[in-house]
Amino acid sequence: MATLALFDGPRTLADGAVWLPGFALPDDRALLAAVEQIVAIAPFRHLETPGGLRMSVAMSNCGACGWVSDRRGYRYENRDPLSGKPWPAMPPLFRSLATNAAASAGFPDFAPDACLINRYLPGAKLSLHQDRDEQDFTQPIVSVSLGLPATFQFGGLKRPDPVQRLPLIHGDVVVWGAAARLRFHGVLAMKAGVHPLLGAQRINLTFRRAR
């Protein structure tokens, strides 16, 4: 009998970090429709780092607060600085996907209040960093990949620690928390390509409890 593997099971990356291949696949079209609605209100923009560099990844947010960067630093804001209005609400599907993924990775109490939406075009990258602008490091992070594949770098608790390279594809979800919460990670420069649903881009949804 022919079978179609939509979800080949979780893969533990480290204590507290789990890769869930294909976990978001059943929702891909609905997730992308919701992203379109959000960015019609809060458009993708290239933020400036505190050091004055333009980020190659374009970003937006939904939820009670959103991650922003400018010359004054990295932080969460209740309003979109471009419009002065609150960020669009987090769609119920986003919240349920994130909490279901967290629960299946061993975090049954995840309560996200922020969803950062990252858009990568070919060439865009995200340097090795820690996610440390949130108040409660007992809450995990849930990261959803859509569109073009990307090579995700997953390091240790210190920047020079060795990194694993994960080939994340459309529909993959990665959950990190507990002992892995402050691991360094990043995304290598995106290769050119065309995805059937998204064309020449990768969209990443990063869910967090910021406050």
Q: Which residues bind ligand MD6 (CB under 6 A)?
A: 118, 126, 131, 141, 143, 152, 174, 176, 185, 187, 204, 206
Instruction: Give the H or E element holding residue 164.
Output: strand 164-168
Distance CA 209, CA 113 (A): 5
Residue with tokens 């998204």: 198
Considering the complex, state which of residue 42 and residue 168 has its C-beta at the smaller distance from ligand MD6.
168
118 binds, among ligand MD6, Fe ion, none (CB under 5 to 8 A by kind): ligand MD6
Q: Does 145 bind Fe ion (CB under 5 A)?
A: no
Position 80 contacts Fe ion (CB under 5 A): no
Minimal CB distance residue for ligand MD6: 143
Contact with Fe ion (CB under 5 A) among 131, 142, 154, 201: 131
The answer to whether 37 and 94 are in contact (CB under 8 A) is no
What is the closest distance, in whole angstroms, from the C-beta atom of residue 132 to ligand MD6 in the complex? 10
Nearest distance in Å: CB 129, Fe ion: 6
Q: Which residues contact 171 (CB under 8 A, 6 or more apart)?
A: 21, 22, 23, 24, 25, 28, 145, 146
Closest to 65 in 3D by CA, of 112, 32, 102: 112
Q: Which is nearer to Fe ion, 113 or 131 (CB)?
A: 131
Cα(57)–Cα(202) distance, integer angstroms:
10
- 23's contact among Fe ion, ligand MD6, none, with CB below 5 to 8 A by partner kind, is none
**What minimum distance in Å lies between the beta carbon of 94 and ligand MD6?**
15
Question: For residue 150, what are the contacts with CB-CB under 8 A and spacing of at least 6?
Answer: 120, 167, 168, 187, 188, 190, 202, 204
The H or E element containing residue 116 is strand 114-120
Q: Which is nearer to Fe ion, 46 or 85 (CB)?
A: 46
CB of 193 to Fe ion, least distance (A): 22
When the beta carbons of 99 and 206 are compared against ligand MD6, the nearer one is 206
Q: Which is nearer to Fe ion, 41 or 128 (CB)?
A: 128
Work out what residue 204 binds among Fe ion, ligand MD6, none; the CB cut-off runs from 5 to 8 Å by kind. Answer: ligand MD6
Amino acid at 33: A
